[in-house]
Structures are given as structure tokens and as C-alpha cells.
Amino acid sequence: MNHPVVAILMGSNSDYPTMKASEQVLGELGVGFRTMVMSAHRTPDRVLRFAESARQDGIKVIIAAAGGAAHLAGVVAAVTHLPVLGVPMMSESLGGLDSLLSMVQMPAGVPVGTLAIGAPGAKNAALFAVAMLALSDTALEQRLLAYRKKQSDAVIETPSAP
């Protein structure tokens, strides 16, 4: 397993089925990652300990998933200058709109790059992380280009009846 350079954080175990999409992409593209559950309101000490040492632990990009009053990504971004990508989770009461607005509306000065709600956001957060890492890793850039080509090739130009 490669040394983890991406940290996938989530506020609850209940977010994990969605966040497996991030793990899948990073695994397929050969990027080392660590997945951890930590909550900004239930385990704030754990969040602070992680964020304070992430850079020296070799982490380069952080993906943070949370739902509801989703402050995990913002709290992590407040503590570290590493890029933080937020994935808003679907929520029962508001369909993820609460999570989305909590993440995307960061006040100026401390950014959280917020992706789409749910699994599409989880997948794209990983691809975004790969795109950033690929800027200084030509082998990874080649794998990303191959991934994109495969995706394009899979688009059927002429639809046929099912």
C-alpha cells in the first residue's frame, strides 16, 4: 500500500457507504489514503489532533464528508492550510441541502472546495484530489489521463434498444 497522501474523513460511520466511492477511485488510481471517522461536535479533540499533524504526517489533500450542520470540513480547514474538499452527505430531513449549504458557504479566507451531494461528490472529490496530486507526479498524471480516456470510450455514441 502506498504511503497515505489523501485523508478521507467522515463525521459518522453512517457516511461510510457513500464515501467508499472516494476509496474506490483512489485505490484504482494507485493513490495511498487513510480513512477515519471523526466528528467536529462529538470528537472535536480528535479532529484537532488530526488537523494539526496532517501536514507532517505526509497528508497532501483532505476529503471531509459530513451531513446536517456539516462543519467538519470547515473546522479542519480552519486548522490546516492543506487543501480540504468537502462532500455533503444526504440527510433525511432536507435531502442534503443542509449539508451542502453548511459546507459551501464558508466565509472568505478559509476555503472548503465543496463537491456535489452524496456519491457523485465522493467520487469527484477523489478525482479532484488526484488532479491536484498529478500536477507534481507524472506517473499519476498518466494514470489519470488513461482513466479519463476509458471513461470517454465508455460513452456509447449510438444508443441501441435495451
> Shortest Cβ distance from residue 122 to ligand RP5 (Å)?
12
Q: Which is nearer to ligand RP5, 68 or 74 (CB)?
A: 68
Return phi, psi of residue 65, to 5°: -110, 135
Q: How far is the CB of 10 from ligand RP5 (least distance, A)?
A: 6
∠ Cα 60 63 67 (to 5°): 160
Residues 6+ apart with CB under 8 A from 7: 33, 34, 35, 36, 50, 54, 59, 61, 62, 63
Q: State which residue, 16 or 147, has the beta carbon closest to ligand RP5.
A: 16
Query: What CA–CA distance (Å, rounded) separates 22 from 69?
Result: 22
Size of the site for ligand RP5 (CB under 6 A): 10
Site mask, ligand RP5, residues 55-74, x = CB under 6 A?
A: -----------xxx------
To ligand RP5, the closest distance from the beta carbon of 67 in angstroms equals 3
Question: CB of residue 23 vs ligand RP5: minimum separation in angstroms?
Answer: 16
d(CA 84, CA 52): 13
- Looking at the Cβ atoms of 11 and 113, the one nearer to ligand RP5 is 11
The residue among 19 and 130 lying less far from ligand RP5, judged by its C-beta, is: 19
- Note the maximum CA span of the chain: 56
